[in-house]
Amino acid sequence: MIPSKYPVISLLLLLANFGLGFSQEAKEIMRKADEKMRGKTSEAEMVIRTTRPTWSREMGVKTWMKGNEFAMILIQSPAKDKGTVFLKRKKEVWNWLPTVERTIKLPPSMMSQSWMGTDFTNDDLVKESSVLEDYTHSILGDTTVGSRESYVLQLIPKPETALVWGKLIVVIDKKDYLELHTRFYDEDGFLVNTMTAYDFQEMDGRLIPTRFEMIPQDKKNQKTEIIYKSIRFNRPLEDSFFTMDQMRKLN
């Protein structure tokens, strides 16, 4: 059930209830890791590859993000979806359909659903929830991933948040604060998804993982990968970029 690569985690999972760590320090580690991949703003081009036993499909997307409040995703390929845009402003999400040139507002219940058939949810993509504000953090211990000394953190959603997860186990590299590995558990404590980071490279002056693999626990022969082609951090991005007008202009 648990890959041998992470024996320490499997042990720690058993001891999860004893995980007492230092909450403030844990949050600070998480903050640094979050800042690493997110920046104050980010603009990225990526490929999302969905793999199943008999086929695979790729989708090219461009994303713009600013904090937790604003996100925009433009689909660049395949041809039939090209020009489709998703816009998130605070708690609202809209979808721009280029063929009919109109916007559709998505119901809040759509956030926890699969995003365009991938193993990621809408929430994963637009970062509706904040790994900092919506969870309580604790340090479970240390581990080594490859040659990287890492922290093992446990994130429990705060009671008032309506998150789909019951618990997250996050492995963060001690030197560069890279989020190497994340396990998503449901409310009954069962492992649902495992996300692992690969291909560490420098992009826009930062060392970051440029490929993430999301593998559903009950479907081991399927996965979704996010492969970063480019990413730029902390370039000025006005709030006024995240508007319906801009959704139309991207086309």
Partner 1 sequence: MADVGCFQRIFIFFSLFLLLQNSLFAQSETERPKKLELRGYVKDLQSLTFDKNFDSLITGNLIHNRMNLRWNPSQKFKGAAEFRTRLFWGEEVKYTPEFSAAIRNSNEWINASVTWFETESMVMQTYIDRFWLEYQHQNWEIRLGRQRINWGIATIWNPNDIFNTYNFLDFDYEERPGRDAVKVRYRLSQTSSIELAASAADESNKAVAAIKYNFNRSTYDFQFSGGVYHEILTLGTGWSGSIGQAGFKGELQYFAPHQDTTSQINLVLESDYVFEKGWYVNLGFLFNSKGMDDPVENLSLFNFQLSPQNLMPTKWNGVFTTAKQFTPLLSGQVAVIYAPGTRLMLVLPSVQYNLSTNLDVDFTWQSFYAEQYQDFQGVIHRGYLRMKWSF
Q: Binding string to partner 1 for residues 104 to 143, with x set by CB under 8 A, is what?
A: xxxxxxx-xxx-xxx-------------------------
Site for partner 1 in 160-189 (CB under 8 A): 162
Question: What six digits make up the tokens of 50?
Answer: 């969905």
Site for partner 1 in 74-103 (CB under 8 A): 78-80, 82, 89-92, 99-102
Q: Which is nearer to partner 1, 50 or 129 (CB)?
A: 50
Greatest CA span in the chain, whole angstroms? 55
Which residue in the set 11, 22, 58, 136 belongs to the binding site for partner 1 (CB under 8 A)?
58
Neighbouring C-alpha atoms within 13 Å toward the C-beta of 65? 22
Q: Which is nearer to partner 1, 112 or 217 (CB)?
A: 112
Q: Which is nearer to partner 1, 109 or 147 (CB)?
A: 109
Q: Which residue has the tokens 């291909």?
A: 199
CB of residue 169 vs partner 1: minimum separation in angstroms? 23
Q: What is the DSSP letter of 34?
A: H
Which residue in the set 5, 40, 57, 220 belongs to the binding site for partner 1 (CB under 8 A)?
57
Question: What six digits make up the tokens of 146?
Answer: 């490859």
Q: Which is nearer to partner 1, 91 or 175 (CB)?
A: 91
Of the candidates 208, 247, 251, the one whose C-alpha atom is nearest the C-alpha of residue 227 is 208
CB of residue 155 vs partner 1: minimum separation in angstroms? 22
Query: How distant, in Å, are the alpha carbons of 33, 57, 108, 195 from that of 36?
Result: 5, 29, 28, 17
**Total residues binding partner 1 (CB under 8 A):** 38
- The alpha-carbon radius of gyration of the chain (Å, integer) is 18
Contacts of 184 (CB under 8 A, 6+ apart): 165, 168, 191, 192, 193, 194, 195
CB of residue 146 vs partner 1: minimum separation in angstroms? 31
Distance CA 78, CA 42 (A): 23
CB of residue 88 vs partner 1: minimum separation in angstroms? 12
Judged by the rule CB under 8 A, the positions of this chain that interact with partner 1 are: 50, 52, 55, 57-58, 78-80, 82, 89-92, 99-102, 104-110, 112-114, 116-118, 162, 239-240, 242-245, 249
